[in-house]
Structure 1
Amino acid sequence: LENSTGNVLALIGSRDYGAADGGQVNGAVARRSPGSALKPFTYLLAMQRDLSPASILADLPVEYMTATGIYRPQNYNHRAAGPVSLRTALANSLNLSAVRTLQSHGGPQALVDVLQSAGLTTLTKPPADYGLGLTIGGGEVTLLELTAAYSTLARMGESVPVRFQPSAAPPVRQRLFDPEACWLLADILSDNDARARSFGLDSALRMPFPCAVKTGTSTDYRDNWTVGYNARFTVGVWVGNFDNSPMRGVSGVSGAAPIFREIFTWLGNRFPSPWFPMPPGISVCEVDPLTGLPPPPEFRGRRPLVLEKFRRTLAPSDLETAHYDSTGRVVLPAEYAAWLAGPDNWLGSTAVAEPAGGTGGNGQGGKAESTSGDNWRITSPLPGTTVLLDPDIPGGGRWLPLRTVPDNPTTQWSSPTLEIQNGRARLLPGRHELTVQDPVTGRSLTTWIMVRER
């Protein structure tokens, strides 16, 4: 799409129009699950209200009661990332952060409203039917409409009708989204360093010039997407089978992204485009990446700092300083205590949790107990956990870590229906029971999960 006009410059609906296996099917207008390609609109919603790229999100396990039961989202690697910035959460396509952010910013109704205003006509069910899972692909879109919605982001929030024939008349523009929030979104989606944790530095998403890009993959690799833009063009790519059969391990970053990269590189080399200028309402500030705030003077030089962008109305002031203990460790809210004491903790001893209620404690979770104690319990997976297989990021998300607290390396896990290797269960659709046993004491615990395809 040409962003300035809304003109469709090229559209390929199938690999071969004359092919007998769906050649005359226009795949650009077929309804498909977008996977994580809808996440940018959740974060746009949040940044239009009260969040910034530096805002710290709690990427922690969470569950929600729904009309159909308990909904427990999972990250692709079944690990909680703990405190992460909004920039990191979006760039690395973390599911827990996206679902939590949507829940705290209007829920599925707010996201449906945003997507429908951007031109997605396929979301016709009541928002409650989609639930919070809409942000990670729990709906259907078409390639044409999704690409047009991204082109609205490229115009910094102005919508323009898609046109299949050039016209001398200027397109009718309508302001939908805040331009500063759209600029911040483009800055995140073009940040190759920010997504390195999940995608690496040399993935197909790394472009030779600035380009905002996002992938999406539906369960069983039936659909994978890459959609992206610069100031001049928006390109959307869908890869899949017209009969809806799954592909063999092809994700958005390995299937659609190389095609996207080739197309956009060709465009960029022949039609160079400047990057979006920074709006005057954006400011830059040096912050601690674990707090999103500048550290107090006594800790400068002792903590890693990053330059982050803010809408001026949300930029931290000199009086807003993050909380540290006397040794310089970051003090996180009490909700992080279990994560800090568990195996997902990547911060080590550089952070502690505020005691529940804010009184006493050292935030270190206490000493480990033996499996014979009453506090021995399974922490992953919790009973009744519903896992939605999400292959958006390389690895597929099919291995579930198995954990107890306190942890004991001598315990043995088993399941009548799942393969278990090195403390991980290989997931398959269906209901599964898992049992952990301590061979020393003979004590055992059992949990169960439901695995579904999105």
Structure 2
Amino acid sequence: MNIKNFTYCNSKKCRILLLAFFLLCVGFWFSLPKQLFNDPSSTILYSSEQKLLGARIADDGQWRFPESKSVPLKFEKSLLAFEDQYFYSHPGVNPVSIGRAFMQNMKAGKVVSGGSTISMQLIRISQKGKSRTVLRKIQEMILATRLEIRYAKKEILALYASHAPFGGNVVGLEAAAWRFFGRTPDELSWAEAATLAVLPNAPSLIYPGKNSERLLKKRNNLLDKLYRIGEIDSTTCELAKLEDVPREIHRLPRIAPHLLDQVHKRKKGERVTSSLQFDLQNRVNEIVKRHQKNIEANQIYNMAVLVVDTKTREALAYVGNTEKNGDVNHGNQVDIIRSLRSTGSVLKPFLYASMLNEGELLPNTLVPDIPTQIAGYSPKNFDLRYNGAVPAQKALARSLNVPAVRMLRDYGVERFHFFLQKMGMKSLNRPASHYGLSLILGGAEGSLWDICGMYASMAGILNHYNWNDASYYSNEFQTIRYTNDSIEWKNPDSQAFLKASSVYQTFEALLEVNRPDGESGWKSFSSSQKIAWKTGTSFGFRDAWSIGVNTNYVVGVWVGNADGEGRPGLTGVGAAAPVMFDVFDVLPASEWFEQPIDEMEMVPICRNSGHRASRWCDQVDTLWIGKTGLASNVCPYHKQVHLDATGQYRVNSECEKVGNMIHRSWFVLPPAIEWYYKKRNPLYRPLPPYRDDCTGVDENQAMELIYPKSNDRIFIPIELNGTRGKVVFELAHHNPDANVYWHLNGEFMGTTCGNHQQELDPGEGKHVITFVDDEGNSLVKQFEVVGKQQHQIND
């Protein structure tokens, strides 16, 4: 062979060798999977302080926390001393350890040592326990070397700590620390860290509660080694040996289980840091447990509490339901905070605020509180009594149903429906006509989550106005969040859907709600917090609500049965409010809201009617109202009356000289309102009658039919024995001494005096009823009887 051919041949071989080497390098580079582990992880929920609130087991039945980026120092030192003392100096394979293991195995005639580094062990763990052969060992060595190229040493340690088996269904250091010691890896002692360091070496053999003596011996040997290599001193070593090894499995914390369920649905297998405050959550849990014992005496089994920060709109405490007692399931797994329940009266403040906002109401404007029937719907107050007329803010504070329904009728169901949707009530997914006037009394369902968010938005409007130079944010109506992500408030503006003045006046009205027995003397204590709060009780005593708000917090409480079973005596003020006040007691005290003076004005207000004072109002107070209230009506109830010299009779120019008349301002209510109002207000003075010699008297509205109203449809009640009942008709007359003559369809039915009530039994169909008094004044009304009485929502 000549030199030329030899050179060519050698060049060809060289290229083949180079190609083979290149292919080996490519194979080596791509030998390691892009992702070592694809195992499902547990869902982990932390508090805002990074304390564990709860965890859900992974889909494969393993307790495996999501990967951690770091390893606690004690565990790292213990692990390296036990498994791989030269971890930071070798490239993934330790030839000395491999050689030593080979000689030991040859001498013993069996495998007694593997010589694997932590990198090699990590590769083996990722391959899910494949058979341990010489070929597999070589493959682990190659992959471990590749692993060292891709990851830093600290990252390899973190991967190992996150995926090492610790026995049973416990995988990873974090899960092991909680299951075996009930604490975080960072809180482990040297003895505990050493125990966990030796477990992955033989997790199926050495397991807490089994083989405890072997585990103790192995741990103590490691502690001795840590002492010998200078990681711990002799005192620490001896004290660590005195600690016992774990002998039972700890349950993971269940501090916010229902929020954990929500997190698991949305972020399964992730590590989620919530906005909950650890200590507050625990204290609220204790409050719920304490009150749970009381409500169970009345066969009420469920309760939910939500605490919201008004500034960040973050949930600070989340108790979705009571804990299960015994083996009886009372729906404790249901997250009541997100469930839709009848709202009772908790929406009344929003109607009050919206009417203030539109200038259709002032805080003390009298609102009728008389028997009312609107298109067959007849609301009743909770105490089944009527006041004639009540200042709007007192009607709100006392949660009177009849004034609320009449206010909603005047405001408009459609407008209020839109208002609630804009405030964030997502459950209103049907047209306004579906709910009708019952919307204000619990005819719609809402969640504690949304309603607390709505109250928080109101507080936010007022806070931001006062803190932001009398301007608002365009994204004020924010939903509550359970992660501690801050809100980016946008576009400061001087306009708002709901003005700060309306919110302030609403909260001022809610300060006067009657507190539970234990809080009745709250005004006597200078340290007591001011809390604007509202209760609600749904029809049939199924839902009891209490929502409270101050500058910093909203606390919402719901009490009832998850299955909807009502219980006698279940009311918002009796069952939910005490819980709410106990929660406020564990919250930091808050200052009261600042008055938004720039949006308010001092205006003369009629003391008796609450309207802007007219020229005839004789008692006037100058009060702060929102500037939108300047467009409200002046007082319609005061008028000038002319009396004779005795002041006992009204007169006119037909019976008395003008010069002899006494001219006075008089507060006069319509007859139906007056009928009830004077019973509850002894200082009310009805109009004096005209003197007998006066002629040409024009008595407008001398009488008014209270029930039924003109053109009303009446449902006749059916008695328990199945017979048709009767209807009580009621009339109001300005003159309490007047005789009134009743006629039904032209037939005389009788005479009444003083108390103008009669029990009648008209048949089905249309009817005409006529009333005539001694003075010849008459009143004619039409009504229709259509059938038996139907039930109504009662609050």
C-alpha deviation, 1:258, in angstroms: 0.5
How do 1:284-363 residues align onto structure 2 when only pairs under 5 Å count?
A: 284-285=602-603, 287-293=605-611, 303=619, 308-315=623-630, 323-325=638-640, 326-332=663-669, 336-341=670-675, 345-348=679-682, 350-352=684-686, 360=697
Show the counterpart of 2:393: 87
Cα deviations by residue, 1:62-104 (Å, 9 ceiling, x for unpaired): 3323xxxx22222223333223222122111122221121122
What percentage of aligned pairs have identical amino acids? 25
Give the aligned partner of residue 429 of structure 1: none
8 Å contact kept, 1:225–1:238: yes
Say if 1:324 and 1:111 are closer, same or farther in 2 by CA, change over 3 A: same
User: Match for 2:591 among 273, 292, 315?
Assistant: 273
Work out whether 1:12 is the aligned partner of 2:311: no
Matched, 1:134 2:474: no
Residue 118 (structure 1) aligns with: 423
Q: Give the Cα separation in 2 of the matches to 1:72 and 1:169.
A: 44
* TM-score (ref. length: structure 1): 0.71
* Deviation of 1:342 (Å): 5.4
C-alpha contact 1:220 1:246 (8 A) present in aligned 2: yes
1:52 correspondence with 2:362: yes
1:349-381: CA deviations, max 9, x gaps? 7354799xxx94568958xxxxxxxx9x99489
* Other structure's SS at 2:348 match: helix
Aligned to 2:790: 450
Give the one of 140, 145, 152 matched to 2:450.
145
Name the SS of the counterpart of 1:58 in structure 2.
Answer: strand
Alpha-carbon contact 2:671-2:732 (below 8 Å) kept? no
d(CA) in 2 for partners of 1:87 and 1:354? 31
Provide the residue aligned with 1:64 in structure 2: 374
Distance in 2 of aligned mates of 1:81 and 1:444: 23
Letter in 1 for 2:609: T
SS for the counterpart of 1:246 is coil
CA distance in 2, matches of 1:56, 1:280: 26
Q: How does 1:176-187 map to 2 (within 5 A)?
A: 176-187=497-508
Partner of 1:36: 345
Aligned to 1:36, what secondary structure does the other structure show? coil
Match of 1:255 in 2: 575
**Letter matched to residue 276 of structure 1:** E
Other structure's SS at 2:545 match: strand
Offset of residue 52 of structure 1? 1.8
Change (3 A) 1:31 1:189: same
Deviation at 1:179, TM superposition (A): 1.8
What RMSD, in angstroms, separates the aligned Cα atoms of the two structures?
Answer: 4.1
Q: CA deviation at 1:8?
A: 0.6
One-letter amino acid matched to 2:377: Y
Partner SS, residue 145 of structure 1: helix
- Report the 3-state secondary structure (helix = DSSP H, G, I; strand = E; otherwise coil) of the residue aligned with 1:37: coil
Preserved CA contact (<8 Å) 2:358 2:628: no
Distance 1:4 1:115 in 2: 21
Q: How far apart are 1:384 and its partner, in Å?
A: 2.6
Change over 3 Å in CA distance of 1:161–1:290 after alignment to 2:
same
In structure 2, do the counterparts of structure 1 residues 57 and 351 end up closer, same or farther at CA, with 3 Å as the change threshold?
farther
**Map of 2:509 onto structure 1:** 188
The answer for unaligned runs of 5 or more in structure 1 is 367-374, 388-400, 409-435
User: What is the DSSP-based 3-state SS (H/G/I as helix, E as strand, rest coil) of the residue aligned with 1:237?
Assistant: strand
Write the distance in 1 (CA, Å) between the matches of 2:483 and 2:457: 19
Q: Structure 1 228/363 Cα, relative in aligned 2: closer, same or farther at 3 Å?
A: farther
CA deviations on 1:314-345 (whole Å, 9 max, x unpaired) are 2499x98972444443023xxx2133245874
Using a 3 Å threshold, how does the CA distance of structure 1 residues 260 and 404 change in structure 2: closer, same or farther? same
Summarize the Cα distance change of 1:112–1:298 in structure 2 as closer, same or farther, 3 Å threshold: closer
Letter in 2 for 1:131: G
Q: Which residue of 1 aligns with 2:547?
A: 227
Task: Quote the offset at 1:230 in angstroms.
Answer: 0.7
Q: Is the 8 A contact 2:330 2:561 kept in 1?
A: no
Query: Residue 9 of structure 1: SS of its match in structure 2?
Result: strand
50-59 or 170-179, larger mean C-alpha shift:
170-179
Q: Which residue of 2 aligns with 1:384?
A: 714
Per the alignment, in what secondary structure is the counterpart of residue 371 of structure 2? coil
The CA distance in 1 between the partners of 2:317 and 2:434, in whole Å, is: 35
Q: Does the Cα contact within 8 Å between 2:500 and 2:599 map onto a contact in 1?
A: no
Pair 1:82–1:294, CA change in 2 (3 A): same
1:101-144 per-position Cα deviation (integer Å, ceiling 9, x unaligned): 11222x22212211111111111111101001101111100111
**CA distance in 2: counterparts of 1:262 and 1:380, whole angstroms:** 46
* Count of residues paired in the alignment: 380
Which entry has the higher C-alpha Rg, 1 or 2? 2
The answer to whether 1:161 aligns with 2:467 is no
SS at 1:283's partner residue? strand
Instruction: From the superposition, tell whether residues 147 and 80 of structure 1 become closer, same or farther in structure 2 (CA, over 3 Å).
Output: same
Q: Aligned residue for 2:134?
A: none
Q: CA separation in 1, counterparts of 2:541 and 2:421?
A: 26
Q: Partner residue of 2:742?
A: none
Shift of 1:147: 0.6
User: How big is each residue's C-alpha offset from its partner over 1:14-48, in whole Å with a ceiling of 9 and x where there is no partner?
Assistant: 11168743232111011100101111111122111
Helix, strand or coil at the partner of 2:413: helix
Paired residues of 2:370 and 2:672 also in contact (CA < 8 A): no
Letter in 2 for 1:146: I
Q: 1:275 to 1:119 in 2, by over 3 A?
A: same
Residue 227 of structure 1 contacts residue 234 of structure 1 at CA under 8 Å; is this kept in 2?
yes
* Distance apart, 1:346 and its partner CA: 2.5
Indicate if the aligned counterparts of 1:383 and 1:449 stay in contact, CA closer than 8 A: no
Aligned counterparts of 2:369 and 2:490: Cα–Cα separation in 1: 40
* Unpaired segments ≥5 residues, structure 2: 1-307, 463-475, 641-662, 690-695, 718-726, 737-749, 753-757, 763-787
- Taking the aligned partners of 2:423 and 2:340, their CA distance within structure 1 comes to 16
Q: Secondary structure at the match of 2:601?
A: strand
One-letter amino acid matched to 1:102: L
Deviation at 1:404, TM superposition (A): 4.6
Q: Is the 8 A contact 2:510 2:534 kept in 1?
A: yes
Pair 1:386–1:126, CA change in 2 (3 A): farther
More helix by share: 2
Aligned AA (2:569) = G
CA distance in 1, matches of 2:334, 2:521: 28
